[in-house]
Amino acid sequence: MNKKQLYDNCFYVEQKKYGLWSSTDTKGKGIITSLTEEECIRTTRWYLKQKQESAFDSVGVKTYTSITDEKL
């Protein structure tokens, strides 16, 4: 347990308390926590790819307005 393994030269994955798996970047900042090692690796790769492509820059920018003309 607690043995870190480096993947793609950009993030580490290790098993934590209670059997959870956690990924961190090379500076030690936490990225993803999941139930299995495979899911942690897959999700971390997806997250880092989206971050590299700036996919999260537009999250939360859209706003919507709604008007309801109903009586309760």
| pLDDT per position as a tens digit, 47-67 | 999 888 887 776 665 667 777
**What pLDDT does 61 receive?**
59
Residue 35: domain span: 5-52
**What pLDDT does 57 receive?**
74
Residue 38 in domain: yes
Residue 26 in domain: yes
Q: Is the pLDDT of residue 40 over 70?
A: yes
User: Which sign does the torsion angle of CA 38, 44, 47, 52 carry?
Assistant: negative
Q: Is the pLDDT of residue 22 over 90?
A: yes
Rounded CA-CA distance 11/2 in Å is 15
The chain-wide mean pLDDT, for the chain, equals 86
Q: How many domains does the chain have?
A: 1
Q: What is the dihedral of CA 64, 70, 71, 72, to 10 degrees?
A: -60
Percent of all residues in the chain with a pLDDT value above 70, rounded to a whole number: 88
